[in-house]
Amino acid sequence: MNDSLIIFDTTLRDGEQSPGASMTKEEKIRIAKQLEKMRVNVIEAGFPAASIGDFEAVQAVASTVKDSTICGLARAVENDIRRAGEAIKPANSGRIHTFIATSPIHMEKKLRMSPDEVVERAVWAVKLARQYTDNVEFSPEDAGRSNPDFLCRVIEAVIEAGAGTINIPDTVGYNVPEQFGALFKHLISNIPNSDKAIFSAHCHNDLGLAVANSLSAVQNGARQIECTINGLGERAGNTALEEVVMAVKTRQDVFGIDTQINTQEIVPASKLVANITGFAVQPNKAIVGANAFAHESGIHQDGVLKHRETYEIMRAEDVGWTANKMVLGKHSGRNAFKTRLEELGIVIETEQELNELFVRFKDLADRKHEIYDEDIQALVTDNNTVMTENESYKLVSLKVSTETGEQPQAQVTLWVEGDEVQATAQGGGVVDATFKAIESMVNSGASLELYSVSNVTNGTDSLGETTVRMEKAGRIVNGQGSDTDIVTASAKAYINALNKLKADPQKAHPQSV
Distances (CA, A) of 137 to 32, 81, 99, 483, 491: 20, 12, 8, 43, 44
* DSSP structure class, residue 145: G
CA–CA gap between residue 203 and residue 238 (Å, rounded): 6
Which ranges in 368-412 belong to alpha helices (H)? 373-381
Residue 391 pairs with which residues in a beta bridge? none
Instruction: For 328, list phi and psi in degrees, rounded to 5.
Output: -140, 160
In this prediction, residue 500 carries a pLDDT of: 87
Non-local (6+) Cβ contacts of 508 within 8 A are 47, 49, 50, 51
Strand-by-strand arrangement of the 419-426 sheet: 393-401, 409-416, 419-426
Kindly tell me the burial class for residue 352, based on how many C-beta atoms sit within 10 Å of its own C-beta (0-12, 13-18, 19 or more): exposed
Other C-beta atoms within 10 Å of 103: how many? Answer: 22
Q: Residue 367 has what pLDDT?
A: 77
Helix axes 241-250, 266-277, angle to 10 degrees: 170
Sequence spans of domains, the chain: 6-277, 293-322, 334-381, 393-502
Sorted by sequence, the CB contacts under 8 Å of residue 116 that are 6+ apart come out as: none
* pLDDT at residue 390, as a whole number: 63
Q: Tell me what percent of the residues of the chain surpass a pLDDT of 70.
A: 90
Q: What is the pLDDT of residue 311?
A: 53
pLDDT at 429: 96
Burial class of residue 366, CB neighbours in 10 A (0-12, 13-18, 19+):
exposed
Give the pLDDT score at 309: 58
Contacts of residue 154, defined as CB under 8 A and 6 or more positions apart, other chains included, come to 102, 118, 119, 122, 140
CATH of domain 393-502: 3.30.160.270
What is the predicted pLDDT for the residue at 331? 76
How far apart (Å, rounded) are the C-alpha atoms in residues 301 and 303? 5
pLDDT of residue 325: 55
The reported pLDDT for the residue numbered 168 is: 98
Residue 470 CB neighbour total at 10 angstroms: 24
Strands 198-203 and 165-170: parallel
CA 139 to chain centre: 21
Q: Which helix (H) or strand (E) holds 186?
A: helix 177-190
pLDDT at 304: 44
Q: What is the third-level CATH fold of 6-277?
A: TIM Barrel (3.20.20)
Spatial distance between the Cα atoms of 342 and 365, rounded to a whole number of angstroms: 19
Structure confidence by residue, pLDDT tens digits, 343-367: 777 777 788 888 888 888 888 888 7
- 306 by Cβ neighbours in 10 Å (0-12 / 13-18 / 19+) ranks as exposed
Report CA 282 to chain centroid distance, whole Å: 15
Q: What integer pLDDT is reported at residue 326 of this predicted model?
A: 54
pLDDT along the chain (513 residues), means of 10: 85 90 89 96 96 95 97 97 98 98 92 94 98 98 93 98 98 95 97 98 97 98 98 95 97 94 94 88 90 59 50 80 65 83 77 85 79 79 55 93 94 92 96 97 94 77 84 88 91 92 72 57
What distance, in Å, lies between the first and last C-alpha atoms of the chain? 35
